[in-house]
Amino acid sequence: MGSRIVATGRATPRTVITNHELERRMDTSDEWIRTRTGISQRYTLCTGESLVEVAERASREALARAGMKPEDLEAIIVGTVSSDFGFPSFACQLQHRLGLTSIPAFDVAAACSGFIYALSVADATMRAGEWSRVLLIGADALSTMVDWNDRSTAVLFGDGAGAAVMVSEPGQRGVLGSILRSAGQHWDLLSVRNRGIQSPIDAEARTNQNDAIKMKGPELFKIAVKSLEDITRRVIERAGVTLDDISLIIPHQANLRIINAVGERLGIKPEKVFTNVDRYGNTSAASVPIALDEAIESGRIHDNDLVLLNACGGGLTWGANLIRW
- Active-site residue set: 112, 252, 282
Which one of residues 63, 81, 224, 248 is an interface residue with ligand UT7 (CB under 6 A)? 224
Which one of residues 3, 12, 19, 37 is an interface residue with ligand UT7 (CB under 6 A)? 37
Interaction between residue 177 and ligand UT7 (CB under 6 A): no
What is the rounded distance in angstroms from the CA atom of residue 194 to the CA atom of residue 80? 16
Interaction between residue 145 and ligand UT7 (CB under 6 A): no
Which one of residues 25, 34, 36, 65 is an interface residue with ligand UT7 (CB under 6 A)? 36
Which one of residues 51, 55, 258, 268 is an interface residue with ligand UT7 (CB under 6 A)? 258
* Cα–Cα separations (whole angstroms), residue 215 to 40, 80, 159: 20, 18, 18
Interaction pattern, residues 266-285, with ligand UT7; x per rule: CB under 6 A: ----------------x---
CB of 21 to ligand UT7, least distance (A): 13
Interaction pattern, residues 83-112, with ligand UT7; x per rule: CB under 6 A: -----------------------------x
Which one of residues 6, 25, 32, 247 is an interface residue with ligand UT7 (CB under 6 A)? 32
What is the rounded distance in angstroms from the CA atom of residue 228 to the CA atom of residue 65? 31
CB of 240 to ligand UT7, least distance (A): 30
Chain Cα centroid distance, residue 104 = 21
Could you tell me which stretch among 74-82, 83-91, 253-261, 271-279 binds ligand UT7 (CB under 6 A)? 253-261
What is the rounded distance in angstroms from the CA atom of residue 164 to the CA atom of residue 120? 13
Burial 198-235 (b: 16+ CB within 10 A, else e): bbbbeeeebeeeebbbbbeeeebbebbbebbbbbbeeb
Residue among 73, 240, 59, 231 nearest 249 (CA): 231
Residue list 150-169, contact with ligand UT7 (CB under 6 A): 151-152, 155
CB of 77 to ligand UT7, least distance (A): 20
Length of the chain (residues): 325
| Cβ atoms 159, 142 nearer than 8 A | yes
What is the rounded distance in angstroms from the CA atom of residue 254 to the CA atom of residue 325? 24
Residue 27: how many other CB atoms lie within 10 Å: 9
The site for ligand UT7 (CB under 6 A) is made up of: 28, 32-33, 36-37, 112, 151-152, 155, 190, 217-218, 220-221, 224, 254-255, 258, 282, 312-313
